[in-house]
A and B are shown apart, each in its own frame.
Chain A
């Protein structure tokens, strides 16, 4: 039981972050705080993916002793690549895309918040609802 908790501690980290972010998105009344909560929530998912690419004691997924072979146009490398020595590259790739998507969503959400501010001159949700009801 204790081993289980210690072996999986990366998962508890991301679960905690996700719940913090989701709570902020649902409960906070200020629009900017909701956007920050959204950012925390998405970052937690990115942590989860990245943590799945780790292997104990390996190096980054950049192949060593590889420069120069390709320049000579050799079809096959003289020494085989041991996949166990390198970290898993695929989650890094997926998360590069996901980070870009996260930033783009953040940008559009902030642009919508600017539009709301120009119209109602406040960023608190209760005041916006009252302003809508008055119209």
Chain B
């Protein structure tokens, strides 16, 4: 198992380093990530949402559906933990496995 895992780590590292070869420089202000969609949020945040904090306006307004999904994730985790950890009442008798 250890040798298999070392081989997989090496392959993973090689794939990751291969992917890094064409990535933009760190801190590049003209990278595609910084110039395609994001300037719209910065420029129109006050006009559309009256919020100077752009992270808030994107999170709650432009991409509010993702935030709905995120709150559902928390709810699911809470319900899942109750489902998993709830102990049997003594009054219901011994559980047969």
Contacts and interface: CB of A to CB of B under 8 A. Distances in A.
Direct contact of A and B (CB under 8 A): yes
Interface residues of A, number: 57
Nearest to B58: A93
Nearest to A104: B77
22 contacts: A9-B26, A10-B26, A12-B20, A15-B17, A22-B8, A27-B1, A55-B27, A58-B29, A61-B53, A61-B55, A62-B53, A63-B46, A66-B46, A75-B47, A81-B45, A86-B42, A89-B41, A91-B33, A93-B58, A100-B74, A103-B77, A105-B77
Interface string A53-82: 111101001111011011100011100110
A111 to B, nearest CB: 4
A26 interface: yes
A37 B12 CA distance: 15
Nearest to A49: B33
A56 B29 CA distance: 7
Interface string B1-43: 1100100110011001100100101111101011001110111
B89 to A, nearest CB: 16
A89 B54 contact: yes
Nearest to A90: B38
A127 to B, nearest CB: 16
Query: Which of B2, B12, B16, B74 has the most chain A CB within a 10 Å cutoff?
Result: B16
Interface in B45-84: 45-47, 50-55, 58-59, 63, 66-67, 69-70, 73-74, 76-77, 80-81, 84
Contacts of A56: 27-29
Contacts of B37: 90
A114 B77 contact: no
A80 B66 contact: no
Contacts of B67: 97
Nearest to B50: A70
A80 B43 contact: yes
Given A22-B12, A97-B67, A77 B58 contact: no
B79 to A, nearest CB: 10
Contacts of B34: 53, 55, 88
